[in-house]
Chains A and B, each alone.
Chain A
Amino acid sequence: MKEGLYRKIGYFCTFTPKELIHAAGFTPIRLLADNTPINRANAYIQNYCCSQVKGCLEKMLNGDLELDGAVFTRSCDSLMRLTDIWELNSNIPVYDLEFPTNIGDKSKGYFLNELLDFKKWLESLNGDEKITFDNLKDSIMLYYDLDKKLDRLYSLNPEYNLAIKALTSNPAIALDEIEKRLNHLNNQSMNEIEKNIDKKKAKILVTGSICPSTDIYEIIQDSGFSIVDDFCTGTRFFKSDAILPEINNMDDAMNFLIQKYFLKAPCPTKHYDNDRRFAYILEKAKDVDGVIFLLVKFCEPHFFDYPQLRKKIEEIGKKTLLLEFELPITSFDQIKLRINAFSEMF
């Protein structure tokens, strides 16, 4: 193991295979903009770039990120350009993982080769220590467990800070906490849990790229809604339709990773056969009373989907609300006002 490492690798897209990073001995950290005001970043990228990109860049320029590496994917035009801007202005090693935009059987072989290259890069960061099959299998199992338990927790009583914890810190510690919460819930009788779930509450689907602030969830809940989410900082982090097979060798492990990330809850930065993302959102929309599009200003992938998706959701009789925000969120009042007004429609 190389000395003097932070043992952390930052990544920008939920489609980054965290298992490989983890198996190489690093903690994968999803990079998110926060309350850091944006100043220096304005000299590196235009102001019509989304604040998730600008906010992360700001933190890097401020020297706030202690990382051994940063992994980028070409998910949107802003991230694609951020890769170089980042590399040219920091000492953090940069890798761009070319996750295919086209998700389907035809891009599997290509993606496997990309993963193998990524594995090599991770090994080189770790003093050329190879990622062993055992390590990779352990990491896959750890994340599988984490995913399933988060999923279970979200179906009972979502705790948004726990998903965010799981994606920004040591997954084993987050898993521990999640298990404790689940045990606690299990010890409560079903009656008690049901009592806590107010059946009269309107159920709302909240969709967007990221929602790093749990305050927004609270505002929504305080307005009398119960939430189903569709964010990279929530359900999109842990939800995949892939079924864990028997993993006996490296090939099995890599194939499972491809399977897992291809069958992940869909995102507008990817292209799917049969318009899978629209189908997925519409399916979720069926079970709720309304949908809030909570979008980061300038986030093109989500804003492009919005008009047609909204129409289809409204066609099945659900109300919608579009809320745009920028990070850092300087005032929650406006958001509160809009959500309260929306809640009055139910």
Chain B
Amino acid sequence: MIKKLETNKKMGELLQEYYIRGLFEDYRAWITSGGPVEFLYSMGVYPVYPENHAALIGAAKEGVNYASISEGDGYSQDLCSYVRCDIGAIISGNSPVGGLPVPSFLVSANNICNTVVKWYEILSRTYDVPLFLLDIPFIRKEMKENYIDYVESQMYDLIKFISTITGRDFDEDEFYKTAVLSIKGIKSYEEVLRMGAHKPSPLTCFDAFINMAPIVCLRGTEAPINFYEGMKAELDERVKNGIGAVDNEEVRLLWDNIPIWYGLRWLADFFAEHNACLVADTYTNAWTFFGDLDLNNPIRGMAQAYSPIYLNIGIERMAEVVNKLIDIYDIDGVVMHSNRSCKPYSFSQYELQKMLDVPSVIIDADQTDYRVFSQAQIETRLEAFLEMLR
């Protein structure tokens, strides 16, 4: 059986605080998970994360309810279910957390997918608020100077955009402070994730998933630093006492792609029962990318850090990243979630499989829409895979 972390409770409190704060702020911007939130925090704008909200709907097993509402409005069932869930929540005016606060403006960065361009255009029409599209070229191979110049120039446009709407000036010192907090948050999150390298691992990727909201939503504030330090202390304790997240850890696995939010518990139990531990994943580790920020020139540094993130690089570079994780965490096998929603994440998998240093298995599902998910089929497939690894 899975062992729960005390930290999970604190996470709930932190998130609640974060959600409540949103109701009282003057300016709220909806922003994509790969967007440079540091500009918002440093200019006193409260960031709202529709992706996180959709994940929450998925984890509450409400994905199909909300997705169906948007499908009734004409959205195809083949579109990313995060979008379908959130649009369903907007139409119904409800969600497990009572819906999201209305945006003052929108910031979308296409470094995670092209889907968010369309998604945010829809939001912009729905709420009749301005949209800033941060257009980040796909870094398939090298990161050309021209790309960084282009992204950097847009960072200045973004500042002007926020300034015009809020009437607030950009303060370089404030921004610097936010950037420092952001890096610190990422570093402490990274330390938590790296605890998975211990044998046995004191955490599973499910712990990482459940506790990722602070680094996404509160990056650039003090909150994630303290939170992950607390989480790390709890994990240190486990390591000191030789306690693994899974009893009798025999097989060490890496998860690829966004979680199957409605199936977290079931999957966690399944692996624990089979003495297998998902010690890390490519999804949460993706956030550690932002950590390489050049503080000497933070705005250009932002352009450099936000461009080559995991979903915005070519498959060969992705393979390098995954093989590095396989090495760091001493992984025996990779479990790939072929996720109908997320095409940029999933369409690389068949090629990736050929490039990885360890065997891998693909399971078909969706991040929030459980209509395309067959528990029995996945179990059979995973059992065969684990058998093969032993």
Nearest to A112 among chain B residues (CB) is: B146
Which of B35-43, B117-125, B184-192 lies on the face that meets chain A? B117-125
Q: How many A-B residue pairs have CB under 8 A?
A: 128
Distance in Å: Cβ of B367 to nearest Cβ of chain A: 13
Q: Is A243 an interface residue (CB 8 A)?
A: no
Inter-chain contact B135/A45, CB cutoff 8 Å = no
Task: Please give, as numbers and ranges, the residues of chain A lying within 8 Å of B150 by CB-CB distance.
Answer: 100, 107, 109-110
**Among A49, A96, A278, A304, contact of B138 (Cβ-Cβ < 8 Å):** A96
Pairwise interchain contact B114-A301, C-beta atoms closer than 8 A: yes
**0/1 string, B61-100, CB within 8 A of A gives 1:** 0000000000001111011100100000000000000000
A101 and B133 within 8 A (CB): yes
Task: Provide the bound-state CA to CA distance between A303 and B137, in Å.
Answer: 23
Please count how many residues in chain A sit with their CB below 8 Å of the partner chain's CB atoms: 48
Is B178 an interface residue when CB atoms closer than 8 A count as contact? no
Indicate if B115 sits at the interface (CB-CB under 8 A). yes
For chain B, the bracket of interface size reads 35 or more
A241 at interface, CB cutoff 8 A: no
User: Which residues of chain A (286-325) have a CB below 8 Å from chain B?
Assistant: 297-298, 300-301, 303-308, 310-311, 322
- Measured in the bound complex, the distance between the Cα atoms of B139 and A322 in whole Å is 35
Query: Is B327 at the interface (CB under 8 A from chain A)?
Result: no
Known: A101-B135, A275-B125, A307-B75. A80 touches B114 (CB 8 A): yes
Contact partner of B348 (CB less than 8 A), chosen from A84, A269, A306, A311, is A84
Q: If the complex has contacts A110-B149, A300-B79, A303-B78, are A77 and B73 also in contact, measured as CB distance less than 8 A?
A: no
Q: Judge if B4 is at the interface, Cβ distance under 8 Å.
A: no
Known contacts being A44-B351, A46-B338, A76-B114, is A81 close to B122, with CB within 8 Å? Answer: no
Q: How far is the CA of A292 from the CA of B113 in the complex (A)?
A: 28
Q: Select one of A43, A114, A269, A305 contacting B350, CB under 8 A.
A: A43
Complex: A100 Cα to B73 Cα, angstroms: 30
Cα A257 to Cα B209 in complex, Å, equals: 47
User: How far in angstroms is the closest Cβ of chain B from A317?
Assistant: 18
Contacts of B350 in A (CB 8 A): 43-46, 85
Inter-chain contacts of B266 with A (CB < 8 A): none
B140 and A113 contact, CB distance less than 8 A: no
Complex: A46 Cα to B314 Cα, angstroms: 17
- Complex: chain A residue closest to B314, CB-CB: A84
In the bound assembly, the distance between CA atoms of A298 and B349 in angstroms comes to: 18
The verdict on A88 contacting chain B, using a C-beta distance below 8 Å, is yes
* Interface contact A46-B347, CB-CB below 8 Å: yes
Which residues of A are found within 8 Å of B340, using beta-carbon distances? 46, 48
Distance A4 CA – B74 CA, assembled complex (angstroms):
51
Q: How far, in angstroms, from A102 to B76 measured CA to CA in the complex?
A: 25
Chain B residue contacts of A114, Cβ below 8 A: 146
Are A101 and B75 in touch, CB under 8 angstroms? no
Residue B144, interface by CB 8 Å: yes
Q: CA A307 – CA B340 in complex, angstroms? A: 20
Q: How far is the CA of A98 from the CA of B50 in the complex (A)?
A: 27
- B114 touching A269, Cβ below 8 Å: yes
Do B119 and A304 have beta carbons less than 8 Å apart?
Answer: yes
Are B343 and A81 touching (Cβ within 8 A)?
yes
CB distance from B136 to the nearest CB of A (A): 9
Are A102 and B118 interface neighbours, CB within 8 A?
Answer: no
Question: What residues of B have a CB within 8 angstroms of the CB of A260 in the complex?
Answer: none
**Knowing A46-B338, A83-B314, A297-B78 touch, does A77 contact B146 (C-beta < 8 A)?**
no
A75, CB-defined interface residue at 8 Å: yes
Residues of A within 8 A of B104 (CB): none
Q: Could you tell me the distance in whole angstroms from the C-beta of A65 to the nearest C-beta in chain B? A: 19
Asked if A215 is at the interface (CB within 8 A of a chain B CB), the reply is no
Contacts A76-B114, A307-B75 known; A102 to B140 CB distance under 8 Å?
A: no
Q: How far is the CB of B352 from chain A (nearest CB, A)?
A: 10
Point out the residue from B73, B78, B114 that lies within 8 Å of A74, measured CB to CB.
B114
In the complex formed, the residue of B with least CB distance to A268 is B118
Residue A80 contacts which of B122, B138, B149 (CB distance < 8 angstroms)?
A: B138
What is the bound-complex CA distance between A81 and B79, given in angstroms?
A: 17
| Contact, CB under 8 Å: A304 / B122 | yes
User: Which residues on B sit within 8 Å (CB–CB) of A300?
Assistant: 78-80, 114-115, 118, 343
B344 at the interface (CB under 8 A from A): yes
Give the complex CA separation of A298 and B76 in angstroms. 9
> For the complex, is A223 an interface residue (Cβ under 8 Å from B)?
no
Do residues B121 and A77 form an inter-chain contact, with CB atoms below 8 A? no
Task: Produce 1/0 per residue, A106-143, CB < 8 A to B.
Answer: 11011001100100000000000000000000000000
Chain A residues with CB below 8 A from B114, complex form: 74-77, 80, 101, 269, 300-301
Alpha-carbon separation in the docked complex, A49 to B150 (Å):
30
Of all chain B residues, which has the CB nearest A278?
A: B125
Q: Which residues of A contact B361 (CB under 8 A)?
A: none
Nearest CB of chain B from residue A83's CB, rounded to whole Å: 6
Contacts of B149 in A (CB 8 A): 110
Interface centre among A77, A88, A102, A307 (most CB of B within 10 A): A77
Q: Tell me the bound Cα distance from A152 to B174 in angstroms.
A: 58
Question: Which of chain B's residues have a CB closer than 8 A to the CB of A336?
Answer: none
- A259 contacts chain B at the CB level, 8 A cutoff: no
Closest to A83 in B: B140
Q: Tell me the nearest residue of chain B to A99, going by C-beta.
A: B137
A295 to chain B, nearest CB (A): 8
Tell me the bound Cα distance from A75 to B110 in angstroms.
11
Q: Is the C-beta of A78 less than 8 angstroms from some C-beta in chain B?
A: yes
Do residues A305 and B118 form an inter-chain contact, with CB atoms below 8 A? Answer: yes
Known: A45-B347, A83-B140. A106 touches B157 (CB 8 A): yes
Cβ of A271 within 8 Å of any chain B Cβ, yes or no, is yes
**Residue in chain B with minimal CB distance to A49:** B347
Residue B316 at the A interface, CB < 8 A? yes
Q: Are B315 and A81 in contact (CB under 8 A)?
A: yes
Known: A100-B135, A271-B133, A304-B121. 9 other contacts (CB 8 A): A74-B114, A74-B137, A77-B344, A81-B343, A101-B114, A107-B135, A300-B78, A305-B118, A307-B74
A-B contact pairs, 12 of them (CB 8 A): A74-B114, A80-B114, A100-B150, A107-B135, A110-B150, A268-B118, A271-B133, A300-B80, A303-B76, A303-B78, A306-B74, A322-B74
The 3 A-B pairs of least Cβ separation, nearest first, read: A307-B74, A304-B118, A81-B347
